[in-house]
Amino acid sequence: MVARIQNLYLFLAGLLAAGSMFFPFWSFSAGKIYFITDFASFSTPGILYVTESCYAAGIFSPLTAILSLASIFLFKNRVLQSKLILLGILLFLGDLFSGLTAAHFLNQYFQSIGTAVTHKPEAGFFMLLPEPVLFMMALKGVKKDEKIVNAYKRL
């Protein structure tokens, strides 16, 4: 019974988590362009990729992706699947807060040295945002399946 709607939600959350690893999370423009990213997947002249400050996000993003894709195949153990989905939400929060913390401290650094800086979120940030909604919808689907199974057992 792999063809369930929560599997689609978990698959999309896994894809978004995996995709967010390779896109910049936040960008700063202070003479040069600085990107905060989990992994610098490509190199461009004149652009610096800041990956050292985002070690935690480099751990949370792959774990979130692996966890959401692995929980697709736990459809027979709905209790464990529910716990893994809740853990995925916590990993998402860790990923988001680690990236925002890195952006905040890099902004503070630029302000402390007196550099005029502009900053903005990038694609990696926006790819993270739908993840908790997808996890919650998957959790709702798992609870619905559990309710159906319990009603069937009573008969």
pLDDT at residue 59, as a whole number = 87
Tell me how many domains the chain contains.
Answer: 1
The overall average pLDDT reported for the chain is 86
Q: What is the rounded average pLDDT of the residues 129-155?
A: 89
Tell me if 113 sits within 8 A of 145, measured CB to CB.
no
- φ and ψ at residue 79, rounded to 5 degrees: -65, -45
Of residues 155 and 137, more confidence is placed in: 137
Cα–Cα nearest to 20, from 60, 69, 68? 60
Written as six digits, the tokens of 73 are 């195949």
Residue tagged 């739908």 (tokens): 130
- For the whole model, what pTM was predicted? 0.85
Q: Is pLDDT of 23 > 60?
A: yes
Which three-class secondary structure state does DSSP give residue 1? coil
CATH number at residue 111: 1.20.140
Q: How far is it, in rounded angstroms, from Cα 56 to Cα 89?
A: 15
- The count of residues in the chain is 155
Task: Tell me the residue range of the domain where 13 lies.
Answer: 5-154
pLDDT at residue 1, as a whole number = 52
Q: Is pLDDT of 17 > 70?
A: yes
* Residue range 43-70, pLDDT digits in tens: 566 566 665 556 677 789 999 999 999 9
pLDDT at residue 103, as a whole number = 87
* Residue range 25-38, pLDDT digits in tens: 888 888 888 888 87
pLDDT at residue 139, as a whole number = 95
